[in-house]
Amino acid sequence: MKALGLLTASLVLAGALPAQQVKWNFDKLAARASDTVDVSLSGSLLQFAVKFLSDTDKDQAKVKKLVGGLKGIYVKTFEFKKPGEYSAADVESFRAPLHPPEWERIVGVHSTEDGENVEVYIKSDAKGIGGLAIIATEPKELTLVNIVGAIDLDALSELGGQFGIPEGLEVDKKK
Amino acid sequence: MAPLEDELRSALRRREPSPDFTERVLARVAAQLVRRQPRVSQPWVRWVAGIAAALLLSAGGLEYRHYRGEQAKDQLLLAVRIAGSKLNKAQRKVQMVTHRSNS
């Protein structure tokens, strides 16, 4: 009886727990990177930012619609002065928390031509996609994205070539 | 003894004030009275001052809130742009490979 109560409590707690961001450790890379972009928008801050998006600006209105129901967006980009500043083991450490059955890799693109690799992981829940993680590596750049909450992948991809940036060009970097 | 008496006499000699002495004294007294007037302490003045201070504080708070909101918005747009571009890149590469294998 006691065990049943404990199990019920655990299940209730598990249901009540909010969707969480992926735990990645960036300490080693941060020390080696020459430039870093760090965006961390969780819960209330994200919804606060959404309120400042314009309804009249076409792109911002799309973003508003896309991220309105999200619980968090976390982006980290490391840029290095020369290739080889990060190792395969570093990348593997970022893959480690993205394991099945919680996470599923839906795309893995490896290019020997330009050395660009992109891996896309999704977290499924009862309602569909409950989270997204992207590991993108280039010889001198490593980007990690974690979106918590239901996200429309096509709409997000569509926004990738917008904001006045032609497709194929690199995004801005903040030092 | 005589020089001392002379000095005293000279020092204590009656001197007539200047013609505008009375006017100057009265003017100075009036000025001091104006300066010493008690502050207006009617309740409505305190209310107005309080409301003005509250309005100033709220305006400052709103301004700061707007600044933080704009900053968060910029971060959000940057995050969506980076995430979208990486996803877009993966999608295009998959399409390219699919196109190659189909043709």
Interval B37-78: pLDDT, tens: 666 667 888 889 999 999 999 898 888 888 988 889 899 999
What is the model's pLDDT at position A142?
92
What is the model's pLDDT at position A64?
87
What is the model's pLDDT at position B1?
56
Which of the residues in chain A have pLDDT under 70? 1-19, 161-175
Domain spans in chain A, listed from the N-terminal domain onward: 26-42+71-160
Residue in B closest to A132 by C-alpha: B83
Q: What is the pLDDT of residues A113-164, one digit of tens each?
A: 888 899 999 988 777 788 999 999 999 999 999 999 888 888 788 777 654 4
Q: Which residues in A lie closer than 8 A to residue B79 (C-beta atoms)?
A: 39, 41, 73-75, 145
Cβ proximity of A49 and A43 under 8 Å: no
> B91 versus A79: which is more confidently predicted?
A79
- In angstroms and rounded to an integer, the radius of gyration of the C-alpha atoms of chain A is 18
Through-space distance between the first and last CA atoms of chain A, rounded to whole angstroms: 58
- The C-alpha of A2 sits at a distance from chain B's nearest C-alpha, in angstroms, of 47
Name the residue among A39, A120, A172 with its Cβ closest to that of B87: A120
* Average pLDDT of the residues in B12-40: 81
What is the model's pLDDT at position A161?
60
Interface test with A, best of B71, B76, B94 (most A CBs within 10 A): B76
Contact residues for A108 (Cβ-Cβ < 8 A; gap 6+): A117, A118, A119, A120
Residue B1 parent element (H or E) = none
Q: Which residues in A lie closer than 8 A to residue B94 (C-beta atoms)?
A: 107, 109
CB contact under 8 Å between B90 and A107, yes or no, is yes
Q: Does B75 touch chain A (CB under 8 A)?
A: yes
d(CA A10, CA A14): 6
What is the model's pLDDT at position B53?
92
What is the model's pLDDT at position B37?
65
Cβ proximity of A91 and A38 under 8 Å: no
Name the residue among B72, B82, B87 with its Cβ closest to that of A157: B87
Name the residue among B69, B84, B93 with its Cβ closest to that of A48: B69
- The C-alpha of B79 sits at a distance from chain A's nearest C-alpha, in angstroms, of 6
ipTM over 0.85: no
> B41 versus B100: which is more confidently predicted?
B100
Residue B39, classed as helix, strand or coil, is coil
What is the model's pLDDT at position A9?
44
* Average pLDDT of the residues in B19-24: 87
pTM of the model: 0.69
Show the tokens assigned to A85.
């500043």
